[in-house]
Amino acid sequence: NATSYDVMTIVIISLQTFAGMWINGFMASVLCVACLKKKSFNANEKILLFLGCCRFCYLGITWVYFFLSIINPWKLFVHTIRQILSAIQSFLNISNLWVSACLCIFYCIKIANFRNIFFIYLKGKIDRIMLWLFLGSMLFALVISILVYKVIDEAHSDNFNCTGRENFWKVNIKTDEHFFPLYFLSGVGFAIAFMAVISSALLLLFSLWRHKCKMQMNSGKDLSMDAHVKAMKSILSFFFIYSINFACLVLTLIYSTKKANPVMFLTLVFQYAFPSVHSLILIFSNHKLERTLRRTLSCGKCKVCMR
């Protein structure tokens, strides 16, 4: 039976999940409508569209998995249910993290201004580079999800004879032991994505800061100053929340075998907040998405007032 702690956790996580699904569903739908109108997509819009769809599905799948694990954990030990849910969740989670890192790399190459020959070459081949980075991210996520399915299936088969309710936690412990190599591989993948975000953010911030100093020296009333300051704020916000999310992922790997741990509850809250908060930053950094969101919220507010 669910305890008061479980009920509180379900309520908080559910509210975060539905809010995040609305935000990411909104971003994906606006971009889809824009694509149908102009029948073309640039690299930035493709990444944003994929992130919106990926995060919408990730939040939904993760909520189902989380809900079952608290309300009726025995359902997860039915053959193929836990395997399929975990594999899909891993694919979407890794895709989300790596494509977010690709987006940061895209902004760095697109916006930063360096006179290095190699950097100029990257700027000219940005669309092709992002395509290969995107495909590489999908391939890595697919490999990890297949390994997750295989490891869980092997753990399930090894412990299939332990069907007594009194052996339930023993089954859990034995199952978790199968995951340590997978945890290590996932941790390496998270670290690589995090290093890509750090490098891109630092390069972009250095370039924007240098450009800002040049504009101040040449003309203190440059109209593009506000745009550069806004870009710097967006990158810093993204870097900050990505750092928190990375720390939560590491804590999840450490405390995943412990039941009803306060640290796990906090990491869950932050992990569910990341897809929503980062998508909001992306929406308010895009004039088209921000304008559509404000118009949608104002229309909704008018309809509520009319009632």
DSSP string, the chain: ---HHHHHHHHHHHHHHHHHHHHHHHHHHHHHHHHHHH----HHHHHHHHHHHHHHHHHHHHHHHHHHHHH-GGGGGSTTHHHHHHHHHHHHHHHHHHHHHHHHHHHHHHH-----HHHHHHHHTHHHHHHHHHHHHHHHHHHHHHHHHHHHHHHHHHTTT--SGGGHHHHHHHHHHTTHHHHHHHHHHHHHHHHHHHHHHHHHHHHHHHHHHHHHHH-TT-TTHHHHHHHHHHHHHHHHHHHHHHHHHHHHHHHTTSTT-HHHHHHHHHHHHHHHHHHHHHHHHSHHHHHHHHHHHHHHHHHHHH-
Give me the pLDDT at residue 179, please: 65
Q: Is residue 47 part of a domain?
A: no
The pLDDT value given to residue 24: 92
What is the residue-level pLDDT of the chain in tens, covering all 307 positions?
556 767 777 888 888 889 999 999 999 998 888 888 877 777 788 888 889 999 999 998 888 888 887 777 776 666 677 788 888 888 998 888 888 888 888 888 887 777 878 888 888 888 888 888 888 888 988 988 888 888 877 766 665 554 444 444 344 444 455 666 777 777 788 888 888 888 888 887 788 777 777 776 765 555 455 655 666 677 777 778 878 877 777 777 666 555 556 667 777 778 778 888 888 888 888 888 888 888 887 776 666 555 5
C-alpha 192, offset from chain centre: 15
Q: How far apart are CA 212 and CA 215, in angstroms?
A: 5
* Nearest to 20, CA basis, from 286, 275, 282, 294: 275
178 lies in some domain:
yes
C-beta of residue 272 within 8 angstroms of C-beta of residue 17: yes
In a domain, 72, yes or no: no
| pLDDT confidence of residue 246 | 77
Domain-embedded: residue 236: yes
**CA-closest candidate to residue 151, choices 176, 123, 124, 116:** 176
| 8 within a domain of the structure (yes/no) | no
Q: Is residue 38 part of a domain?
A: no
Residue 171's CB is within 10 A of a number of other CB atoms, namely 19
- The pLDDT of residue 238 is 76
Please count the other Cβ atoms lying within 10 Å of the Cβ belonging to residue 259.
Answer: 8
Residue 154 forms part of a structural domain: yes
Are 59 and 102 a contacting pair, CB within 8 Å?
Answer: no
State pTM to two decimals.
0.81
pLDDT the model gives residue 22: 92
Judge whether 156 lies within some domain.
yes
- Give the model's pLDDT for residue 23: 92
Supply the range of the domain harboring residue 185. Answer: 79-294
pLDDT at 306: 56
Number of structural domains in the chain? 1
